[in-house]
A = this chain, B = another copy of it.
Amino acid sequence: MHDHSVHVQCGECPIRHRAVCARCETDELSRLEQIKYYRSFQAGQTVIWSGDRMEFVGSVVSGIATLTQTMEDGRRQMVGLLLPSDFVGRPGRSTAAFDVTATTDLVMCCFRKKPFEEMMVATPHIAQRLLEMTLDELDAAREWMLLLGRKTAREKIASLISIIARRDAALHVRKKAGVLSVDLPLTREEMADYLGLTLETVSRQISALKKDGVISLEGNRHVSIPNLDRLLEEAGDDSDGGMLV
């Protein structure tokens, strides 16, 4: 077991880090559990159905999964975006109305359910990690709520791009000649579900930001950010870019 700073590449395994390498946490946990297995999913495949009883705690190793809620008439809202090293699951509990779906091809590392009590006692440092990560996610959810409730479409798009840039800092973002590049791992429709918009509005606002020189596109999925401060200003965030450097 070792410590790292947040979002740094681990020397021992290929995946991105939180404060502690997810793979290492995984190993630790699975030693406790005696069982560990990897699961692969194809893009579009459902990982957990709403109403399912959670059978495992899992950590994303590679790929992207989304957590969505759907209303009876088909309106959908994304409520979670799972990138490598994120955890999901709450063993022994059904997860209300949330669907977890693979957006890209996905590999998850799973351990069988086990009540939290045992974990608390046996591996308190992992339990603590889990608590901190849950609190982080809660903070993120609260920023997301501000976005959904009060931001304009343009601000939403700018926010999404800066959120992805920030989260993927170590992985997908390149900095060439002072220009940040980000891969958007989502279709326009998925972005719309993330932001509480329609896909048409997403497309229009991306075009508008492009026309105004805030971003530039290379292909549909690749965004360059010539001026990060400008983007953050468009996003309506008062905070600065944080760890983006």
Contact = CB atoms under 8 A, between A and B. Distances in A.
A145 interface: yes
A141 B134 contact: no
Interface string A17-33: 00000000000000000
Contacts of A125: 117, 120
Interface string A180-198: 0000000000000001100
A215 to B, nearest CB: 21
Nearest to A134: B134
Contacts of A142: 67, 69, 79-80, 96, 98, 141
Which of A134, A135, A149, A150 has its CB near the most chain B CB atoms (within 10 A)?
A149
A140 to B, nearest CB: 9
A146 interface: yes
Interface stretch (A5-13, A70-78, A165-173): A70-78
Interface string A142-153: 111110111000
B148 A96 contact: no
Interface string A49-71: 00000000000000000010101
A77 B145 contact: yes
Given A75-B150, A149-B148, A236-B71, A116 B138 contact: no
30 contacts: A67-B142, A69-B142, A69-B143, A71-B236, A71-B238, A77-B146, A77-B150, A79-B142, A79-B146, A96-B139, A96-B142, A96-B143, A116-B128, A117-B124, A117-B125, A117-B128, A120-B125, A121-B124, A124-B124, A130-B131, A131-B134, A134-B134, A134-B135, A137-B138, A141-B141, A141-B145, A144-B145, A145-B148, A148-B148, A150-B196
Given A96-B239, A150-B196, 13 more contacts: A69-B142, A69-B146, A71-B238, A72-B236, A77-B145, A77-B146, A116-B131, A117-B125, A137-B138, A141-B142, A141-B145, A145-B145, A148-B149
